Structure 1
Amino acid sequence: MKSVLILCREETTDVKELIRALINKGIHAISAEPREIVVDIDRSGIRFLYQSRILELVCVLGWVSLSQREYGLWLLKAFEICNIPVLNGTEVLENGQNKFLNSVLLAYHEIPHIPTRLIGSYEQLEETAELLGFPLVLKPIVGAKGQQVVCVEDLKNLRNLAPYYFRDHKALYVQTCLDKPGRDIRVRVIDHEAEFAFFRYAKDGEFLTNLSVGGTWEECNLTPRMINLAEFCSRVFKSPIAGVDLLEIGEDDYVVIEVNTTPAITWPHMDTVFRVAEFIEKRVHLLS
Structure 2
Amino acid sequence: MTDVTILYDSIRWEEKALLEAGKKKNIDIQMVDCKKLAINLEKKPEDYGVVIQRCVSYYRNLHSTAALEGLGVKVINCLNTGVYAGNKLFTHMLLKKFGVPTPDATVAFSKDAALETLDLQGYPRVIKPTVGSWGRLISKLNDRDAAEGIIESRENMYPIYQVHYLEEFVQRPPRDIRAIMVGDKIVAAIYRISKHWKTNMALGGVAEPCKVTQEMEEMCIKANHAVEGDIVGVDLMESDEKGLVVHEVNNTTEYKNTVRVCEVDIPSLMLDYALGVKK
Report the TM-score, using the length of structure 1 for normalisation: 0.88
Q: Is the partner of 1:125 in helix, strand or coil? A: helix
The code of the aligned residue for 1:154 comes to: D
- Letter aligned with residue 274 of structure 2: I
Which whole-Å deviations, capped at 9, do the CAs of 1:157-181 have from their partners, x for residues lacking one?
1010013333232311110101111
Root-mean-square deviation over aligned CA pairs: 1.9
Counterparts of 2:241 and 2:146, CA distance in 1: 34
> Structure 1 counterpart of 2:210, which letter?
C
User: Are the equivalent residues in 2 in contact too, given 1:132–1:176 (CA < 8 A)?
Assistant: no
Answer whether contact 2:4 2:275 (CA < 8 A) is retained.
Answer: no
In the aligned structure 2, how far is the partner of 1:258 from the partner of 1:58?
29
Does structure 1 residue 278 correspond to structure 2 residue 272?
A: yes
* Deviations, residues 240-282 of structure 1 (Å, cap 9, x unaligned): 2111111112599311111112111332325222211211122
Letter in 2 for 1:192: D
Paired AA for residue 239 in structure 1: G
Residue matched to 1:72: 61
Q: Is the 8 A contact 1:184 1:245 kept in 2?
A: yes
DSSP-derived class of the 1:269 partner: helix
Q: For residues 245 and 2 of structure 2, what CA distance do their matches in structure 1 show?
A: 42
Do 1:2 and 1:57's aligned partners in 2 also have CA atoms closer than 8 Å?
A: yes
Number of residues of Structure 1 aligned to a counterpart in Structure 2: 272
Distance in 2 (CA, whole Å) between partners of 1:266 and 1:30 is 21
The Cα of 1:5 is off from its aligned counterpart by 1.6
**Of 37, 43, 48, which residue of structure 2 is paired with 1:46?**
43
Structure 2: distance between partners of 1:132 and 1:34: 44
Q: Gapped runs of 5+ residues in structure 2?
A: none
Give 2:247's aligned residue: 257
Q: How does 1:161-200 map to 2 (within 5 A)?
A: 161-166=150-155, 167-170=157-160, 171-200=163-192
Aligned mates of 2:93, 2:9 — CA distance in 1 = 26
**Please, which of 81, 85, 90 is the counterpart of residue 92 of structure 1?**
81
Is the 8 Å Cα contact of residues 133 and 176 (structure 1) preserved in structure 2?
Answer: no
Paired letter, 1:25? K
Deviation (angstroms), 1:23: 2.8
* Equivalent residue, structure 2, for 1:28: 28
Letter in 2 for 1:7: L
Superposed CA offset, 1:144-198 (max 9, x none): 1111111110011101001333323231111010111111111111122012111
Structure 2 equivalent of residue 59 of structure 1: 50
Partner of residue 145, structure 2: 156
- Which deviates the most, 27-36 or 244-253? 244-253
User: Which amino acid letter does the alignment assign opposite residue 86 of structure 2?
Assistant: Q
Offset from partner CA, 1:211-256 (integer Å, 9 cap, x none): 1110112111111111111112112211121111111125993111
Distance 1:229 1:40, change over 3 A: closer
Identity %, equivalent residues: 24
Partner in structure 2 of residue 241 of structure 1? 231
Distance 2:115 2:248 in 1: 26
Aligned residue identity for 1:237: V
Change (3 A) 1:252 1:18: farther
Query: Aligned partner of 1:98: which letter?
Result: N
- Structure 2 contact 188–258 (Cα < 8 Å) conserved: no
Q: Which letter does structure 1 place at the counterpart of 2:206?
A: T
Q: Deviation of residue 102 (structure 1)?
A: 1.1
C-alpha distance in structure 2 between counterparts of 1:132 and 1:184, whole Å: 24
| Deviation per residue, 1:111-135 (Å, 9 max, x gap) | 1111111111111123221343211
The answer to which structure, 1 or 2, has the higher relative contact order (CA under 8 A, 6+ apart) is 2
Gaps of 5+ in 1: 49-54
- 1:19 paired with 2:19, answer yes
- Which deviations, in whole Å up to 9, do the C-alpha atoms of 1:56-102 show, x marking residues without a partner? 1112112223xx22133222111111111111011101111111111
